[in-house]
Chain A
Amino acid sequence: MLRKAFAFAALGLALMAGPALSATTEAEPRDVHWSFEGPLGKFDKAQLQRGYKVYREVCSACHAMNQMYFRNLGQKGGPFYDEKYKNPNDNPYVKSLAKDIQIKDIDQDTGDAITRPGGTADRFPAPFPNEPAARASNGGALPPDLSVIAKAREGGTAYLYSILTGFHAPPAGMTVPPGKYYNPYMPGDMSSFWKGPKDKVPVGGFIAMPPPLAPGKVTFDDGSPSTVAQQAKDVSAFLAWAAEPKMEERKQFGLGAMIYLLGFSILLWFSYKRIWRNVAH
């Protein structure tokens, strides 16, 4: 009763063509199995590593992740966590990943704008300096920040996966505005772009992002086949982790807490029965 089926993100609407209409529709997200589902689910480290590569090589060209720091990659539960380096800031692999990225900074002596190799304490750099610049480079649409995108969209990871794999040619009878792409998983109202029968308006909406993934676009270090489905699944898992890096800690802590509370309740139950055993009530 508490699900609010209409809580679609405002930025999603911003990406849509036309005014925000009341009768939005979209296809149900695809049903995908994730290793991190369920009360004991954990992230698949290899998948997170592949997903980071997809983000780094594809998504990061347009999408920022302002809540993410390079050190996060090496923290417990992260894609590049190493038992030997409890402190992610010492993790040499994370350091080298950060070093590969150029960070904008100010020279402390001259005050000039410079770029320098990144460190573990640096944020993931944003592709655009500000919102107008991002819009100007993307036909007026703002590529949303991906830090918590897996929580900011109804449907979560399944929605992300569905969007990434859901691009296909618009059905005959649909007028697609320039710079927009049809995606059945995108919430939208197609009725004013549809010339076919009024009762057969296709579900879905327009998205300003061109299909970002292509077969072979990313070469996975572990030799996984670089299909669109694989790339989409891995990057969705990476975004799920990025949205809540403490998820595994939460579930583990929760297991202990539930067992404790259950035992506590049983103890109290017997204590209660014992105290009340001679009282008619």
Chain B
Amino acid sequence: MADTVVGANPDPHVTGDDPDRRDFIHIAAGVAALGLVGGLAWPFIDQMNPAGDTLALASIEFDLSKVEPGQQVVVKWRGKPLFVRNRTPKEIQEAIQGDHADLRDPATDESRHKPGKANWLVLVGTCTHLGCVPTFGGGEYGGWFCPCHGSVYDTSGRIRKGPAPKNLEVPTYAFLSDTKVKIG
């Protein structure tokens, strides 16, 4: 330490050093301090994202033989309801006719079920408006009706009326056999 300096000048700003060099070291130290805080901020934010065990949530298998034509079964999947609906030929027909209607979120009925499995509709059962669970068979299109804010879905799960912006989501799933699906 500079203990022996005599006649000290307590103000560093009146000396004749090159100001650029002097400022650089302070700015660099300040930037490094910000970098330290910033570097620590990310772990502190990322910890709120889904953890390893949550991400590993199992896919589920479901036995379709329990669902009668014209009925739906609600299963819980990743904490959300999942609609598995066995559609009648009439409901399928209505859904295909809907392909030509003026749709808010255009999609053909064909694209919303697995090939050759037109009667099976698997959908995430949360309204795309604000996440309520639509009721089965409600609304003028015979699909679903959301009691919260009046969104109406058709028998393909497409939004037809009300505030919801999107069709009901189709999750990733596959047929393991004619009567068994694996969801997720």
- Do chains A and B make direct contact within the complex (CB under 8 angstroms)? yes
B3 at the interface (CB under 8 A from A): yes
List the B side residues contacting A119 at CB < 8 Å.
58-59
Decide: B32 and A263 in contact? CB cutoff 8 A: yes
B106 at the interface (CB under 8 A from A): no
Task: Choose the segment among B8-16, B110-118, B120-128, B157-165 that binds chain A (4+ C-beta atoms closer than 8 Å).
Answer: B8-16
Partner of A278, one of B8, B26, B35, B63: B8
B41 at the interface (CB under 8 A from A): no
Task: Choose the segment among B49-57, B81-89, B131-139 that binds chain A (4+ C-beta atoms closer than 8 Å).
Answer: B49-57
List the A side residues contacting B58 at CB < 8 Å.
119, 121-122
Decide: A274 and B56 in contact? CB cutoff 8 A: no
User: With contacts A267-B28, A271-B29, A274-B22 known, is A121 near B56, CB below 8 A?
Assistant: yes
List the A side residues contacting B22 at CB < 8 Å.
274
B48 at the interface (CB under 8 A from A): no
List the A side residues contacting B6 at CB < 8 Å.
280
Chain B proximity of A115: nearest CB distance (Å): 15
Which chain A residue has the least Cβ–Cβ distance from B10?
A: A279
List the A side residues contacting B101 at CB < 8 Å.
none
B5 at the interface (CB under 8 A from A): yes
**CA distance in complex: A264, B55 (Å):** 37
Decide: A264 and B52 in contact? CB cutoff 8 A: no
List the B side residues contacting A121 at CB < 8 Å.
53, 56-58
B45 at the interface (CB under 8 A from A): no
Interface residues of A in 229-281 (CB under 8 A from B): 260-261, 263-264, 267-268, 270-271, 274-281
Decide: B5 and A69 in contact? CB cutoff 8 A: no
Partner of B55, one of A89, A270, A275, A279: A89
Chain A proximity of B34: nearest CB distance (Å): 11
Partner of B25, one of A75, A122, A274, A279: A274
List the B side residues contacting A275 at CB < 8 Å.
12, 26
A71 at the interface (CB under 8 A from B): yes
Interface string of B9-43 (1 = CB under 8 A from A): 11110010000001001101100110110010000
User: With contacts A71-B56, A264-B29 known, is A276 near B36, CB below 8 A?
Assistant: no
Partner of B11, one of A87, A264, A278: A278
List the B side residues contacting A109 at CB < 8 Å.
63, 66
**CA distance in complex: A268, B32 (Å):** 9
Decide: B39 and A260 in contact? CB cutoff 8 A: yes
A120 at the interface (CB under 8 A from B): yes
List the A side residues contacting B56 at CB < 8 Å.
69, 71, 88-89, 120-121
List the A side residues contacting B2 at CB < 8 Å.
276-277, 279-281
**CA distance in complex: A119, B61 (Å):** 12
**CA distance in complex: A281, B8 (Å):** 9
Decide: B55 and A281 in contact? CB cutoff 8 A: no
Chain A proximity of B177: nearest CB distance (Å): 16
Decide: A274 and B26 in contact? CB cutoff 8 A: yes
**CA distance in complex: A71, B54 (Å):** 12
**CA distance in complex: A89, B54 (Å):** 12
**CA distance in complex: A276, B22 (Å):** 12
List the A side residues contacting B57 at CB < 8 Å.
121
Partner-B contacts on A (CB < 8 A): 69, 71, 75, 87-89, 109, 119-122, 260-261, 263-264, 267-268, 270-271, 274-281
Partner-A contacts on B (CB < 8 A): 1-6, 8-12, 15, 22, 25-26, 28-29, 32-33, 35-36, 39, 52-53, 55-59, 63, 66
Known: A69-B53, A69-B56. 19 other contacts (CB 8 A): A71-B52, A71-B56, A75-B52, A119-B58, A122-B58, A261-B36, A264-B33, A267-B28, A267-B32, A270-B25, A271-B25, A271-B26, A274-B12, A275-B26, A278-B10, A278-B15, A279-B5, A279-B10, A280-B5
